[in-house]
Amino acid sequence: MTGDPRFQPVDAAVVPRFADVATFMRTRRHEVSPDVDVALVGVPFDLGVNFRTGARQGPAGVREASRLIRRVHPTTGVSPFELCNVADLGDAPVNPLDKDKSIAQIQGFFETLRENRIVPISVGGDHTIPTPILRGLVTDEPVGVLQFDAHPDTLEELCGDTVNHATFMRLGHKEGWIDPKRTLQIGLRGSRFSEADIQYGIDAGFTVITIDDYEAMGRAAVIAKIHEVLGDRPFYITLDIDGVDPAFCPGTAVPEIGGLIPRDLQVILRSLTGKPIVGADISEVAPCFDPTGITCVTAANLMFEMLCAIAPAVAAGRG
Amino acid sequence: MTGDPRFQPVDAAVVPRFADVATFMRTRRHEVSPDVDVALVGVPFDLGVNFRTGARQGPAGVREASRLIRRVHPTTGVSPFELCNVADLGDAPVNPLDKDKSIAQIQGFFETLRENRIVPISVGGDHTIPTPILRGLVTDEPVGVLQFDAHPDTLEELCGDTVNHATFMRLGHKEGWIDPKRTLQIGLRGSRFSEADIQYGIDAGFTVITIDDYEAMGRAAVIAKIHEVLGDRPFYITLDIDGVDPAFCPGTAVPEIGGLIPRDLQVILRSLTGKPIVGADISEVAPCFDPTGITCVTAANLMFEMLCAIAPAVAAGRG
Amino acid sequence: MTGDPRFQPVDAAVVPRFADVATFMRTRRHEVSPDVDVALVGVPFDLGVNFRTGARQGPAGVREASRLIRRVHPTTGVSPFELCNVADLGDAPVNPLDKDKSIAQIQGFFETLRENRIVPISVGGDHTIPTPILRGLVTDEPVGVLQFDAHPDTLEELCGDTVNHATFMRLGHKEGWIDPKRTLQIGLRGSRFSEADIQYGIDAGFTVITIDDYEAMGRAAVIAKIHEVLGDRPFYITLDIDGVDPAFCPGTAVPEIGGLIPRDLQVILRSLTGKPIVGADISEVAPCFDPTGITCVTAANLMFEMLCAIAPAVAAGRG
Amino acid sequence: MTGDPRFQPVDAAVVPRFADVATFMRTRRHEVSPDVDVALVGVPFDLGVNFRTGARQGPAGVREASRLIRRVHPTTGVSPFELCNVADLGDAPVNPLDKDKSIAQIQGFFETLRENRIVPISVGGDHTIPTPILRGLVTDEPVGVLQFDAHPDTLEELCGDTVNHATFMRLGHKEGWIDPKRTLQIGLRGSRFSEADIQYGIDAGFTVITIDDYEAMGRAAVIAKIHEVLGDRPFYITLDIDGVDPAFCPGTAVPEIGGLIPRDLQVILRSLTGKPIVGADISEVAPCFDPTGITCVTAANLMFEMLCAIAPAVAAGRG
Amino acid sequence: MTGDPRFQPVDAAVVPRFADVATFMRTRRHEVSPDVDVALVGVPFDLGVNFRTGARQGPAGVREASRLIRRVHPTTGVSPFELCNVADLGDAPVNPLDKDKSIAQIQGFFETLRENRIVPISVGGDHTIPTPILRGLVTDEPVGVLQFDAHPDTLEELCGDTVNHATFMRLGHKEGWIDPKRTLQIGLRGSRFSEADIQYGIDAGFTVITIDDYEAMGRAAVIAKIHEVLGDRPFYITLDIDGVDPAFCPGTAVPEIGGLIPRDLQVILRSLTGKPIVGADISEVAPCFDPTGITCVTAANLMFEMLCAIAPAVAAGRG
Amino acid sequence: MTGDPRFQPVDAAVVPRFADVATFMRTRRHEVSPDVDVALVGVPFDLGVNFRTGARQGPAGVREASRLIRRVHPTTGVSPFELCNVADLGDAPVNPLDKDKSIAQIQGFFETLRENRIVPISVGGDHTIPTPILRGLVTDEPVGVLQFDAHPDTLEELCGDTVNHATFMRLGHKEGWIDPKRTLQIGLRGSRFSEADIQYGIDAGFTVITIDDYEAMGRAAVIAKIHEVLGDRPFYITLDIDGVDPAFCPGTAVPEIGGLIPRDLQVILRSLTGKPIVGADISEVAPCFDPTGITCVTAANLMFEMLCAIAPAVAAGRG
C-alpha cells in the first residue's frame, strides 16, 4: 500500500468498519489545506425545495454508509488513496434559517477550495447547491456539466423564487458558468408542470437525453454521446439522486418512477476515468425517507466511483 | 393553461404540494355529476384476501402520494386536466364487516357512474374489486380486459368462497362481462397451488403472457400483441400492483419476485393513449407494508398514466 | 344527534373511518366564512428550525390520524359538533422558499379568521407559527398564553435570525401580544445553550414550570396554578409536541427525554373547558420521524381535547 | 428442573433463543389432547374490525417475540412448566373469507378444548374472538369477565353488524355467558360515537373503571375492587392490547392515548395467581403497525403473566 | 395431489397461510430421519462477520416469509412435495458465544444429514456456513460449487482470523472439498481491500464471472458456461444474498450496489433442474435490515427454486 | 463561555447541529493524552450476547444522536465543558471475529486511560464490556458499582461461556474489582431461567432493588439508599439500556417490559453530581432495532447526565 500516509483511510484490518467516528470513506477529517488534492465535503443545505425537506441530513447519512467503501475499484483498478491526498473536509458552512446567506457561505467555501486547488466531491443538501458550488469553482471559462437527474432544473422560478433546487441549470446558463454546448442532462422524466419545464435546456443547447431517449439509445451510445459532448475540456458532474429509480434510491425529496439504475451510473462514471473533472456532487439524499438505508449506500458507492474517476487526472496534474 | 376552471387541480405555485387536504392528484373533491368526465375514486375494500390485508388504506395512501403528480405527461404531452373534467369522487361505499354487502354497494356506485357517463379510474382495495366495478360498468356487450398481475385470478374458489381476489377473471368470463378473445393477462408468475391455477384463462381464450413469455417476447412485441388482441373496441385495464416486482412495489398482500418493472407499465400504458378505455383500476396497494412509500408513489404515477391514456378519447367523445 | 347539518363530520356508520379524503376529524373542508365557529387549520411551515425539518408534513399526518376521532368527549361529555360549526379550513398559505413571505402570509390568513370571528385550532408546522398566528389574532389587549414545551422559545436569536422556532415567546412579549402576567411555560427541560435560555421568561414575568417543578408540584397543583394565572380573561394555548415525552411523540424535530405524558395534557386541557380560549395550536409534529404513527395519533387526540375545551364558550358566545 | 419432560420448552442453554421454529414460549407444538393442561393458541381472525386490520398476523408476531420468555416468574416465583403441561396447540381454524364461518369454527375449536379440560390462553385476532371463545368454553353458569380495554365493546351494532370487535360484551350479557355482577371493564377511554357507547355495561351491572376512575382510585384500590367483584368463582380474562397506552403498544387497530401501562397489567395479573381462571386472551395485536416490535414483546410477556397466574390452580385442580 | 402424506405442507385451503407455526414452506417440523429426502434447515450463525451482524435471525425471517410458497413451480411444473419427502429439520446447533464450537457443531449436524442421505437446503447465518456444511457433507471427492455472491470470499484472513464469511472459498480449495475446475463465482463486484481479493480464485482455477462479465456475456451465455463447467457430476450451490442487488435484497450485512436481480437467479436455478445437486444454501439474510420484508420473501422464493431443481434427481435417485 | 478552547464542542451557532462529522456531543475527536480529563469513548463489541446482536453499532448511533446535546445542565447548572477537558477518544479496539482478543484489547485501552488519569464514559457494545473496562480501570481497591439493568448479570455461564453479557457482576465479585458492600443493582425484572439468576448478588452482599422494590420504595428512598450504600468512596456506574422500559428504549437486545423510565435515571444521576465516579458506561444500545431513534436519543442524554455528574469532581481533583 503506497500513498501519503497522512491521508490514508482508517485500516479496516485494524479498526473494524463499524468502529469510530464516521467520516466520508473513513478518510481523515482535515481542514482546508493545499496538501489536500480531493476533498470529500458535505453541503447540508435543504432550504431550496418545494416538496419535502430532509437532505440536510444527507452528509451525515452518507458518511455513515461510506464505512462500507474499501480501497480499490473493482473494474478500473484505480486505488485513489494511493494516487492522491483525499480527505473529509467537513461540511460547507450554512445558515439553517437563511437561504440567501447559506448560498453565499457555500460559494465562499468553494472559492477557498479553488484557491487551494482542491477538487471537491460534495454530498448535498438539495439540488440548489450546484449554483453556489459552481459560482465558487468557476472563474474563467464556463465548464461542461454532466447532469443525472429526473428533472431538468431549468425553471425560471418556483413560487416566485429563482435560486432553488429547480433552477440551477438555467442560472448556470444565464450567469455563464455552464457551457451549454458541453452540457448533458440525462434521465429526465416525470410529469411536468408545463411543456416549458424541459424546453429551456434544449433551446440553450444542452444535450437532453430523457429516459425515453436513454432507453432508445442504449447505455453504450449514451456513453459515446457523453464523451463526444464533453470532449477533453473541464467539466463538472452533478447527480441528483432522484435521477436513480426510487426502488434503488427511495430516500429523496421528489421520487420519480422509471429511472436509471445504479449500474448505469457506475458504468458511465467509470468511462470518465482520467477525464478533467473539476468537481462533482451527489444531491437530494434524504435519510429520513430511507428506512432500508440503500439510498445512502448507493450514494456512498457512487461517490467512490466519482473519486476513482477523478483521482488519476488529479495525480497526473500534480505530478 | 386551458381546461374547465371548475376542475383544475390545486396550483402548486400557489398552494405547495405538501399543503392542504390530499385528494387524488390534488383534483377537486366532487360529488357524482354529469359534469365530471373522468372520476378518480377509491374502493377501500379488502375483505377478499386470503393472506394479508391492508389494501383498505390504499386509497388514502395513493391520495397522499399523488401530491407529487403535475399536469403534463412527459412523453405523450397529454395534459389531461385541459382535455376533460377530472375530479376525485371520493370512495365507493363499503361495509367493513360485510363482504357481500360491500360488493353490492360497490357495484351500485359504479352503475351510477355509468349512468352519468363517467369513466372511472379506481384505486383499491384488493383485487376483488374488478368484479363489482365491471358488473356495474358493463351492461351491453362484454369488454376486453388488459390485466397486469402476478396471479391469474381464475381460481374457482378460495376456502369455499367464489368472490374474492383470486377469482374475478373467472367470474367475468362466466358472467359474461369479459370478452375472452380481447383479454390479456400479463406478468403471471409465482408458485402455484396447482397447475390448474393458470389453465382456466388459457382454455377460456385469454391471451396469457407469463413473465417468461414477456421476457422471451420483449416489451415491444408484447405491446404489439396487446394492440392486436384489444383492437379498437372498448376495454378495461386492471393492474394488480403485485404484477410489479416487489422491489418496486413491496407494499402489497402477496408479493412475487421477478416481476414487471414500472417502466414496463409506463411504456405499455402510453401506447394505449387515445384508445376506448372504459375504466381502469390499480389494486392491492397496502400502505402498511410500504415503509419507503414507493408503492404508493408508483401507484400514483401509474394512475396518471391511465388518466393520460384515457383523457384524449374522453375529450373526443365529448366534443 | 343535533348540530348544524352542514357542519357534521362524516358519519362512520355510513362511510368507514378509513374511507374517503382525510380532513381534520373528518369535518367538512370549507372555505373561510362567518358561518364557521371553530376552524381546524394546517400551517405547513418549517423554515424556522435549526435542527431537523419535516413539520411541513404535520397537517397531512394529523389529518390522516384524525380519522380515529369520534364525536363525544369521554370525560366532559362535550359534543363539539353539536355545539358549534367546526370545519377544516385547509392550510394557511405559505411559500416553501421564503421564510419572511410565509410569515406574512400566515399572519394575513389569521387576520381573516379574526375578522370572521373564527376561533382557530392549528396544526403546524414548526413552533415559529405562534408568531404570525398571534400577530394576526391579537389586535387589542395582549392575551395570556399557556405553553407546553420542552424549550422556552425565548432566545433572542438563532444563527443571527430572530423569527424562528426558538424565539416566539420573546417576540410576543416584546411586540406586546403576550400578557406576561397571564402566561405559563410548562414542561421545560433538556440541555441548554446557556443559562440565559430560560431566564428571559422568568424576568418577563412568565410563570415558568419546568419538568422538575411539575413533578414537585404534582399535576393537580399545576392545574390550580394554571387557573390562577390565566384567570377569566382570554388566552391562547400553544403545544409544542416536544413538550410530550419522546416515547409518546418521537416524531418531532428536537426530542427531549423525560417529558410530560399525554395523560397530563389531556387532564389539563379538560380542566379548561368553557374558558375563553382565543385559539390554539399543536406544532412540531414531523411525520417523517414517526414510523409508528403515535405522534400523529397523539396530536389528533389533543386537538380534539382543545376543540372540546373551546366549543362550549364559543357556543355560549354565539348564542 | 421438574415437570413433565414431554412438555418442557426448548432449553435456551442448548438451543439458543433465536434458533429453530417459533412456538409460543418455545413450548412444544402439540395437537389437542387430554394430556395438555394449558393451551397456548392463536386465533388469527380479523374480519370484525371497522378501522384497520392486521391482527390476523398477531399469533405469528407473538410467537416470534415469545422467544424471549424464560421459565420462572420474577415476582411470584411460579414456574409454570413445572406445574402443568403447557403446549402450543397451533391456531384455531378460521376462514379468511367468511366471518360467520370463522366464528363457528373458532367456537368449535374451543368446545374441543373444553371437552379435553384444557385451559386456553389465546392470542388474537381482533377483539371479536371472545365471543366464539366463550360460547365454546362456557356451558353451564356464566363466568365473570375481567376486561382490559380502551373501548367497552358494548355497542349494539357496527354498520349494521352485531358480531364484531365492538360488541362482544353486549353479546355475552345477552346470550348469558357473562355474569354481569362479576364483570369488570378497566381502562375505558377515547372519544365516543355517543354517550351510549359506555352506558350498556353500566346498566347491565358491570363494574366500569374508566381510565379516569383508575387514576382516581389508584392501582391498589383497583386490585381490591377486582378481587371483590370476581370473588372466588370462575372468571375469564380478556385483554384488548389497546387497553395499554399506544407508546407501549402502538401495533394495534384503534390506538387511544392516555392508557394503562404494562406495569399496571403485570401487577394486576400477578394478584390473580391461583384464582379459578377459565381462560384468557390477548387481542388486537397487529404486527404490521409495530415496527419496533414492542407490542409483540409486551403481549408475549403478558401472556406469560397469564400463564403464571393460571398454572397453580390448574396444577391444584389436576392433583 | 400425490406424495407421501406424512410430508405434505399444511394445506392453505384448510389452514390459511397466515395461520399456525411458521416452518419452512409450511412443511412438517421433523427430526433427522432416513425418511426425509430433502431437508430445509436453518443455520443461525453470524459470528463470522466483520461489519454488521443480524443473520442469526435469517432462518426465523425466511420461515415466516415462506408462508407465501405454494406447491408447484410455475415454469418447470415441478411439484417437489409429490416427488420426495421434504421437511423442516429445524436449525443446526450453534453456540452464540463460541465461533469455533459452533462451526464444529454445524459440521456435526451436516455429517448426520449425510449419513441419513438427506440433501440439505440451508438458510444462514452468515456466509461462513458453507465451510462446516461442506466439511460435513463432502467425504470422498470434492464437489463443484456454484457461488452467487458480491464478494469472492477468498481472503486468507480477516483481522487475523481464517474461518469467517470472507474465506470459505479459499478454505474449501485448500482443504480439498471444492473442485476448482468445476467451480464458478458469479456476480462479484464492489470495492476491494486490494487487488488480491479476487485473484485467489482465478489462480485456483475457478471460473470467475464478475458482474461486468455477466453483463457482457448475457444471462444465456452465463447459463451455458455454468453447465459446461459443472458438467454432470455433483455440485453444491451457495447463494450469498448480497449477490442480489440491494434494491431487491437490502436486508444483508454488506450490501453492494449494481448486482444480480432475482429474475437472474430464478432462471439460472431453473436451468439446473434435475442436476446432481448435493446441497444448497442461502446466506447473509439479516431481517433487522429488511423493514419491507422483501429480502426474506426473495430468499424464500429462491429456496423454493432450489428445492424444485433438486427434487427430480432426488426422486430419481431414490426410485 | 470559559473552558479550555482546545476542548470545546463545535458551536451550534456557527456550525448547525446537523452539520459535519458526528462525534460524541460534538466534542473534538482526540487521541489519548493527559490533557484529556473525561473521555467519551465507544466500545463496539457485541460478541457476548445470546439473543440478538447489533450493539456494535451503538457508538455510531449515539454519536449521531448526541448532536442534540447542548452545553449546560438544566437542573444542576453544571456546564461540563467549562469545568474540564472532554473529548471523543474514538472507539476502544476490538476484533469482530475474536471475543477473547477483543476483551483483552478493550482492557488494554482502559489501562491506558487509567495511566493518563482520564475518566471514561463509554457507550457499548453489549453488557460484557464492564468486565474489560473495570479490569483495566481498577488496580488497587475494588470499586462500588451502581448498576441499572433489567437483568442481574450474575450468571455463572451461558452456553458454557463465562465472559459475556450475563456474567460481569459475578466476575467482578469473584475477581475482586467490585466491592459488594458498595454495589447496587436497580431495576431487575423479567422472567428468569431459574431462581438462581438473581440470588448470587444477594448472597454476595449487593443491594438488590428489583423493579417491585423500586416501586414500593419510591424514587426518593431509592436515591437515599444509593447514597447510603455508595458512601463517599469511588464507584462506577453501568447502565444497561434494557434497564429502561422498552417503550422508551426499544433498540436493545433483550427488552423487558415494565421498567424504569428515563426520568428516573435523570433524577438519580443528577443526585450523584460531584461524587467520586471512576467511570461509567451505557451498554446494549442496538440502533438496528430503533427505527424511531429514541433509544439513541435517550442514551445520548443519559451520557450527558453522567458527564455533568462527573465533571465537578474531576475539575476539583484537577485543581
**Tens-place pLDDT, residues A20-42:** 999 999 999 999 999 999 999 99
Nearest to B96 among D49, D56, D96 (CB): D49
Find the radius of gyration of the CA atoms of chain B. Answer: 18
Task: Among C157-161, D247-251, F218-222, name the one with the lowest average pLDDT.
Answer: C157-161
Mean pLDDT over each residue of chain B, to the nearest integer: 97
Q: Note the residue count of chain C.
A: 319
pLDDT, one tens digit per residue, over F67-101 is 999 999 999 999 999 999 999 999 999 999 999 99
- Which of chain F's residues have a Cβ under 8 Å away from the Cβ of A44? 16, 18-19
Give every CB contact of residue A278 below 8 A, 6+ residues apart in sequence. Answer: A119, A137, A138, A143, A234, A235, A236
pLDDT band at D1 (very low <50, low <70, confident <90, very high): low
* Cell reading at D205: 351491572
| D contact residues 223-252, partner C, Cβ 8 Å cutoff | 245-247, 250-251
C-beta atoms of A97 and C47 within 8 A = yes
pLDDT, one tens digit per residue, over A173-219 is 999 999 999 999 999 999 999 988 899 999 999 999 999 999 999 99
- For A153, C225, D56, the CA distances from D251, given in Å and listed in that order, are 42, 37, 12
Nearest to D20 among E18, E19, E91 (CB): E91
Q: How many CB atoms lie within 10 A of CB A20?
A: 25
- Whether A240 has a binding-site annotation, put simply, is yes
pLDDT, one tens digit per residue, over F100-130 is 999 999 999 999 999 999 999 999 999 999 9
pLDDT, one tens digit per residue, over D161-180 is 999 999 999 999 999 999 99
Q: How many CB atoms lie within 10 A of CB F203?
A: 12
- Which stretch of DSSP H or E encloses residue D198? helix D196-204
- Which of chain E's residues have a Cβ under 8 Å away from the Cβ of B257? 248, 262-263, 266, 294, 297-298, 301-302
pLDDT, one tens digit per residue, over D265-309 is 999 999 999 999 999 999 999 999 999 999 999 999 999 999 999
Q: Mean pLDDT over residues E3-15, rounded?
A: 95
C-beta atoms of A195 and B247 within 8 A = no
Q: Which residue of F has its CA nearest to E93?
A: F159
Nearest to F258 among D1, D262, D291 (CB): D262
Q: Assign A204 to helix, strand or coil.
A: helix
B111 pLDDT higher than 60 = yes
Is F18 at the interface with chain A, CB within 8 A? yes
Mean pLDDT over each residue of chain E, to the nearest integer: 97
Helices assigned H by DSSP within chain C: 58-65, 80-83, 99-115, 130-137, 168-175, 196-204, 211-217, 219-230, 262-270, 294-318
Give every CB contact of residue D196 below 8 A, 6+ residues apart in sequence. Answer: none
- For A74, C306, E307, F91, the CA distances from E120, given in Å and listed in that order, are 34, 62, 9, 41
D197 pLDDT higher than 90 = no
Is A16 at the interface with chain F, CB within 8 A? yes
Q: Please give the ipTM for the structure prediction.
A: 0.97
* Integer Cα distance of F81 and E114 in angstroms: 64
Helices assigned H by DSSP within F57-163: 58-65, 80-83, 99-115, 130-137
Most A CBs within 10 Å, among B20, B292, B303, B304, to test the A interface: B292
pLDDT on residue B36: 98
The pair phi, psi for residue E81, each rounded to 5°, is -75, -10
- Which stretch of DSSP H or E encloses residue B100? helix B99-115
pLDDT, one tens digit per residue, over E253-303 is 999 999 999 999 999 999 999 999 999 999 999 999 999 999 999 999 999
Q: How far is B271 from chain E (nearest CA, A)?
A: 26
C-beta atoms of C191 and F294 within 8 A = no
C-beta atoms of D159 and B291 within 8 A = no
pLDDT, one tens digit per residue, over D225-242 is 999 999 999 999 999 999
Helices assigned H by DSSP within chain F: 58-65, 80-83, 99-115, 130-137, 168-175, 196-204, 211-217, 219-230, 262-271, 294-318
pLDDT on residue C100: 97
pLDDT on residue C319: 57
Given the C-alpha cell 356506485, which residue does it identify?
B109
Pick the closest to residue A118 from A52, A175, A33, A50 (CA basis): A33
* Integer Cα distance of F179 and F207 in angstroms: 11
E38 pLDDT higher than 90 = yes
C92 pLDDT higher than 70 = yes
Q: How many CB atoms lie within 10 A of CB E174?
A: 14
The pair phi, psi for residue D298, each rounded to 5°, is -65, -45
C29 pLDDT higher than 90 = yes
Chains that touch F (3 or more CB pairs under 8 A): A, C, D, E
- Which of chain A's residues have a Cβ under 8 Å away from the Cβ of E52? 18
* Integer Cα distance of C299 and C277 in angstroms: 18
* Integer Cα distance of E142 and E173 in angstroms: 9
Q: Mean pLDDT over residues D73-93, rounded?
A: 98
Q: What is the secondary structure of E299-318 as a DSSP string?
A: HHHHHHHHHHHHHHHHHHHH
B1 pLDDT higher than 60 = no
Contact, D157 vs D194, CB < 8 A?
Answer: no
The pair phi, psi for residue E197, each rounded to 5°, is -50, -40
- Whether C153 has a binding-site annotation, put simply, is yes
pLDDT, one tens digit per residue, over F237-272 is 999 999 999 999 999 999 999 999 999 999 999 999
* Integer Cα distance of A257 and A247 in angstroms: 8
Q: Which residue of C has its CA nearest to A287?
A: C288
- Which of chain B's residues have a Cβ under 8 Å away from the Cβ of C22? 21-22, 60, 63
- For A254, F178, F186, F207, F215, the CA distances from F152, given in Å and listed in that order, are 50, 14, 9, 11, 18
Q: Which residue of C has its CA nearest to A128?
A: C97
Give every CB contact of residue B214 below 8 A, 6+ residues apart in sequence. Answer: B186, B187, B222, B260, B264
Q: Mean pLDDT over residues F37-65, rounded?
A: 97
Nearest to B289 among D49, D95, D288 (CB): D288
Give every CB contact of residue D74 below 8 A, 6+ residues apart in sequence. Answer: F188, F189, F190, F191, F192, F198, F210
- Whether A127 has a binding-site annotation, put simply, is yes
Q: How many CB pairs under 8 A join D and E?
A: 71
Beta pairing, strands F143-148 & C235-240: unpaired
C-beta atoms of D190 and C16 within 8 A = no
Contact, B65 vs B296, CB < 8 A?
Answer: yes
Is D126 at the interface with chain B, CB within 8 A? no
Q: Which residue of C has its CA nearest to A252?
A: C288
E1 pLDDT higher than 70 = no
Q: Mean pLDDT over residues B5-20, rounded?
A: 96
Is F260 at the interface with chain D, CB within 8 A? no
Contact, F158 vs E97, CB < 8 A?
Answer: yes
Phi-psi region of D160 (alpha: psi -120 to 50; beta: other; left: phi over 0): left
* Integer Cα distance of E272 and E146 in angstroms: 11
Q: How many CB pairs under 8 A join B and C?
A: 71
* Cell reading at D158: 357496527
- Whether C151 has a binding-site annotation, put simply, is yes
pLDDT above 70 as % of chain A = 99
Q: DSSP state, A194?
A: S
F234 pLDDT higher than 80 = yes
- Which of chain F's residues have a Cβ under 8 Å away from the Cβ of E57? 52
Sheet holding D235-240: strands in order across? D86-91, D38-43, D119-124, D277-283, D235-240, D143-148, D178-188, D207-210
Pick the closest to residue E200 from E145, E164, E156, E135 (CA basis): E156
Sheet holding E119-124: strands in order across? E86-91, E38-43, E119-124, E277-283, E235-240, E143-148, E178-188, E207-210
Given the C-alpha cell 451527489, which residue does it identify?
A282
- Which of chain A's residues have a Cβ under 8 Å away from the Cβ of B247? 247
Mean pLDDT over each residue of chain F, to the nearest integer: 97
Helices assigned H by DSSP within A177-255: 196-204, 211-217, 219-230
Q: How many CB atoms lie within 10 A of CB F121?
A: 25
Chains that touch B (3 or more CB pairs under 8 A): A, C, D, E
pLDDT, one tens digit per residue, over A38-84 is 999 999 999 999 999 999 999 999 999 999 999 999 999 999 999 99
Pick the closest to residue A61 from A123, A150, A130, A128 (CA basis): A123
pTM value surpassing 0.90: yes
* Cell reading at C236: 391562547
Q: Which residue of C has its CA nearest to A286?
A: C288
- Which of chain C's residues have a Cβ under 8 Å away from the Cβ of A57? 52
* Cell reading at E65: 416469509
More confident residue, B255 or E196: B255
Is F94 at the interface with chain A, CB within 8 A? yes
C-beta atoms of A72 and E191 within 8 A = yes
| D contact residues 152-181, partner F, Cβ 8 Å cutoff | none
- Whether B151 has a binding-site annotation, put simply, is yes
A1 pLDDT higher than 80 = no
SS3 for E193-213 is CCCHHHHHHHHHCCEEEEHHH
Is D8 at the interface with chain F, CB within 8 A? no
A235 pLDDT higher than 80 = yes
- Which of chain B's residues have a Cβ under 8 Å away from the Cβ of A198? 74
pLDDT on residue E319: 56
Q: How many CA atoms lie within 13 A of F272 on its CB side?
A: 35
C-beta atoms of E19 and D94 within 8 A = yes
- Which stretch of DSSP H or E encloses residue E188? strand E178-188
pLDDT on residue B195: 86
C90 pLDDT higher than 60 = yes
* Integer Cα distance of E242 and B116 in angstroms: 54
A103 pLDDT higher than 70 = yes
F206 pLDDT higher than 80 = yes
* Integer Cα distance of F119 and B111 in angstroms: 77
pLDDT on residue F1: 55
- Which of chain E's residues have a Cβ under 8 Å away from the Cβ of F47? 47, 97
Q: Which residue of A has its CA nearest to C157?
A: A97
Beta pairing, strands C277-283 & D38-43: unpaired
Is C194 at the interface with chain F, CB within 8 A? yes
pLDDT band at C196 (very low <50, low <70, confident <90, very high): confident
* Integer Cα distance of F52 and F49 in angstroms: 7
Is F293 at the interface with chain C, CB within 8 A? yes
* Integer Cα distance of C86 and C36 in angstroms: 6
Q: How far is C53 from chain A (nearest CA, A)?
A: 6
